Structure 1
Amino acid sequence: MSQSQNYPLLSVPTGKLQISESPSNNADTDGEAIFLSLVIPTYKERDNIKNVVKILSQVLDECISGRYELIVVDDDSPDRTWEVAQSLMEEYPQLRVMRRQQERGLSSAVIRGWQAARGNILGVIDGDLQHPPEVLTQLVTEIEQGADLALASRHIEGGGVSSWSIVRRFLSRGAQVLGLIILPSVLGRVSDPMSGYFMVRRNAIAGAILNPVGYKILLEVIGRGRVGAIAEVGYVFCERKEGESKVTWKQYVDYLHHLLKLRLSTGHLGTVSKFSQNMGFPIGRFLRFGLVGLSGVFVDMAVLYLLSDPTTLALPLTRSKIIAGEIAIFNNFLWNDAWTFADVSMQQQEWRQRLKRFLKFNVICLAGLVLNVLILNLVFNFILPNRYIANLIAIAVATIWNFWVNLKLSWRVTDVK
């Protein structure tokens, strides 16, 4: 029998990204209770993983020997990182390995690892040694002293970054400031909300349905969990010595997307969102539709200027407005198809189906324009003789009309051959 058969891989949990109240088996093979389950999400870390497991084991053996487990969750790396990790299981009995072949993403990898964990304290650390392992001892101490969440931070005393460029420092701080504006109740609780190095009590997040975007799972834990006391420990973020960096511009886009999702699904806005969903009106989708409509206003104005201004093409105003309006409609359709109603359009990607949606969108927008004019005149002549307030009311009604009818007619799930 091969070594791999002697030390099988963990089964990948399925279903909702939700942590159970208690692990099914809170003991290792020797019957000792597991205190900490530390997840190491990996992708193409073949050159790092052996050293990572060795160093983490040495550090944790000094403070909680026999009371921890390391869970490597690999996203089916082409360099077969999972296979290298599996080969280490004989030498490190506290090591468990999961190979995900159907899912991708660091945040969901962490949660899947936590779902398979046996400890009452759940942790995460990068698999590239950019998070100094010796800080684990301090995090464990903070948890043992009563913290619900122990976080390694780059932005308190003892923390920092080793050799980041000015641009990367600016983006990191800018992302933090933006987060404080959008979601102060979450980001205001910690100094380093973009950290991916922390421990949390199982009962602080158990039962919550997590829905992370991108790499920043800490936002999800604080935003959706029941996290009380938070402790922070300073650490210096190190540059990787082996493997490839995973940081790209997409991570910042995912971060912004995640902030907006949490803003819409938690607190007072979350309550409104849930109520609207129960009433059959998806407010999150409506807000995306509104943002797309705002972009259409800018497109319309820009094209109208280019076509009609005396200093440019100087075309007749009516002709320019018709062209500008149609280009704005086309802009809005593309964004709505790719973003607002992406879940539907992905199921119907044939060009005939897209053309059909576009034609419907045009007709509905034209009807919305007619409705806008009617409401404007009705409000101005019979209710409120203020043309600007009347226009705002007309725009609001037309926007709701455009969204609701497009939702029901243009972007609807139909049978796809």
Structure 2
Amino acid sequence: MKAPELSVILPAFNEAKNIPLIVDKIAAVMGDTPFEVIVVDDDSPDGTADVTRSIGREKPYVRCVKRINRRGLSGACIEGMMAANAPVVVVMDADMQHDETRLPVMLAEIRDGADLVIGSRYVDGGAASSGFVKKSRAKGSELATALANRITGAYTTDPMSGFFMMTRDVADRAARVVSRDGFKILFDIVSRFGHDLKIREVPFQFRERVEGESKLGFLVTVQFLGLLISRYTGGFIPVKFLLYGLVGFTGLFVHMATLLLLNASFGVGFATAQIVATFAAMTSNFAFNNEVTYAHRKLTGWRFVTGLLTFYIICGIGALANVSISVRLFEWDWSAALAGFAGALMSAVFNYAVTKLVTWRDT
């Protein structure tokens, strides 16, 4: 085998039926160009990793990176890039929505001096709507692109594309700083490095997926909005902290609804109702954070139970610190509103930082 000139990164979750098809399609278009295919599997229950390894025994240019207890497209892309041997890497979907026939064209642009080549749905010759079964999803994609363009500017027409090729140098730079959360790694890369990269675009037709179900949904939308706000602040506010704060805001509604229901409707004493409401809010916050903020390290089974217990303890300590600091600030002639806000903010930062390291062990 020759050393690969191109590493094709295929992030995958439940793509067992598509992997054999996309591998053959890629091989058919690459001709004499040496390449490798790296399937980054997020521990798919459908046996995606087993299928990939079986193919690799017959086709040595196919490899599998299986991630355990980690989820998320951006993180999968980064791990695939770091496992790649070639001087050029490309990320594309395993579901065949991205046009593999554009790979040689994109590689030619890299050879011609480009740092980053983007498969765009919005330049002449490209199309996006054919890949979306529902018109609402197509409109949502257009809206997300418009919002992203307010940050990335004129660097690209399609900052939300999941089909892009870059040099090893760009991949190494991106791996150190881009968010591991969410699904829109290209937007993160362009918003950070677009000003000093030679970026070119290649049109492609976005196609319907062949097998399986789309991974887009509410979680992806929330994570993208968090990333969008984070990039608007220049990365000053981490994406996870924004998501954590959003979840905490929903906990306020859970707390008040539980308190009023028990106290006003069932006549439970205020103190008892307040305690129950507090635990109800902490429980809902833990569950939502487990599904949204830390979806890539989602706790299940017994780990869910132990995680909930540590969450209770840490948030309890945060609540005590909240009260102590806000009371002290109020005694120093701060207004009640400002003292209360400062205590709540400190508590939120403490809870986020400690639960991140202890409950979800996310470093």
Q: 1:357 to 1:79 in 2, by over 3 A?
A: closer
**Partners of 1:286 and 1:403 within 8 A in 2:** no
In the other structure, the counterpart of 2:36 is 69
Number of residue pairs matched? 337
**Partners of 1:292 and 1:332 within 8 A in 2:** no
Please point out which of 15, 18, 24 is paired with 1:48: 18
Q: Distance in 1 between matches of 2:155 and 2:305?
A: 40
**Partners of 2:116 and 2:166 within 8 A in 1:** yes
Q: 1:205 to 1:331 in 2, by over 3 A?
A: same
Deviation at 1:302, TM superposition (A): 11
Deviations 1:55-82 (Å, cap 9, x if unpaired)?
Answer: 1111111xxx243222222233333233
- What do you get for the CA RMSD once the two structures are aligned? 4.6
Please point out which of 213, 221, 240 is paired with 2:189: 221
In the other structure, the counterpart of 1:37 is 7
AA of the residue aligned to 1:129: M
Q: Distance in 2 between matches of 1:258 and 1:126?
A: 21
In the other structure, the counterpart of 1:255 is 224
Structure 2, gaps ≥5 residues long: 265-270, 298-303
| 3-state SS of paired residue (1:72) | strand
Deviations 1:352-391 (Å, cap 9, x if unpaired)?
Answer: 9728845962784597378459746xxxxxxxxxxxxxx6
In the other structure, the counterpart of 1:354 is 312
Q: Does 1:211 align with 2:179?
A: yes
Q: Distance in 1 between matches of 2:92 and 2:144?
A: 21
Deviation at 1:165, TM superposition (A): 2.3
Q: Distance in 1 between matches of 2:39 and 2:310?
A: 45
Q: Distance in 1 between matches of 2:210 and 2:353?
A: 48
Structure 1, gaps ≥5 residues long: 1-28, 274-282, 308-312, 314-321, 377-390
Please point out which of 54, 73, 77 is paired with 1:87: 54
Q: Does 1:142 align with 2:100?
A: no
Deviation at 1:401, TM superposition (A): 3.3
Q: Does 1:129 align with 2:99?
A: no
Larger Rg: 1
Q: Distance in 2 between matches of 1:119 and 1:334?
A: 46
**Partners of 2:120 and 2:204 within 8 A in 1:** yes
Deviation at 1:123, TM superposition (A): 0.5
Q: Distance in 1 between matches of 2:78 and 2:148?
A: 23
Q: Distance in 2 between matches of 1:411 and 1:37?
A: 36
Deviation at 1:139, TM superposition (A): 1.1
Q: Distance in 1 between matches of 2:311 and 2:181?
A: 29
Q: Distance in 2 between matches of 1:288 and 1:231?
A: 33
**Partners of 2:184 and 2:224 within 8 A in 1:** yes
**Partners of 2:72 and 2:180 within 8 A in 1:** no
In the other structure, the counterpart of 1:12 is none
Q: Distance in 2 between matches of 1:152 and 1:356?
A: 45
| 3-state SS of paired residue (1:239) | coil
Q: 1:95 to 1:175 in 2, by over 3 A?
A: same
| 3-state SS of paired residue (1:73) | strand
AA of the residue aligned to 1:246: K
Q: Distance in 2 between matches of 1:255 and 1:402?
A: 26
In the other structure, the counterpart of 2:206 is 237
Q: Distance in 2 between matches of 1:329 and 1:141?
A: 59
Q: Distance in 1 between matches of 2:252 and 2:50?
A: 53
**Partners of 1:357 and 1:410 within 8 A in 2:** no
Please point out which of 177, 183, 186 is paired with 2:146: 177
| 3-state SS of paired residue (1:233) | strand
AA of the residue aligned to 1:51: L
In the other structure, the counterpart of 1:168 is 137
| 3-state SS of paired residue (2:100) | coil
In the other structure, the counterpart of 1:401 is 343
Please point out which of 186, 189, 202 is paired with 2:168: 202
Q: 1:139 to 1:175 in 2, by over 3 A?
A: same
Deviation at 1:296, TM superposition (A): 8.9
Q: Distance in 2 between matches of 1:223 and 1:263?
A: 9
Q: 1:233 to 1:399 in 2, by over 3 A?
A: same
**Partners of 1:124 and 1:198 within 8 A in 2:** yes
**Partners of 1:296 and 1:328 within 8 A in 2:** no
Please point out which of 93, 105, 116 is paired with 2:72: 105
Q: Distance in 2 between matches of 1:356 and 1:38?
A: 43
Q: Distance in 2 between matches of 1:410 and 1:113?
A: 29
| 3-state SS of paired residue (1:140) | helix
- Normalising by structure 2, we get a TM-score of 0.72
Q: Distance in 1 between matches of 2:26 and 2:346?
A: 54
Q: 1:218 to 1:409 in 2, by over 3 A?
A: closer
Q: Distance in 1 between matches of 2:305 and 2:30?
A: 48
Determine what percentage of the aligned residue pairs are the same residue: 31
Q: 1:252 to 1:187 in 2, by over 3 A?
A: farther
**Partners of 2:38 and 2:62 within 8 A in 1:** yes
Q: Distance in 1 between matches of 2:241 and 2:53?
A: 47
AA of the residue aligned to 1:217: I
Q: 1:223 to 1:113 in 2, by over 3 A?
A: same
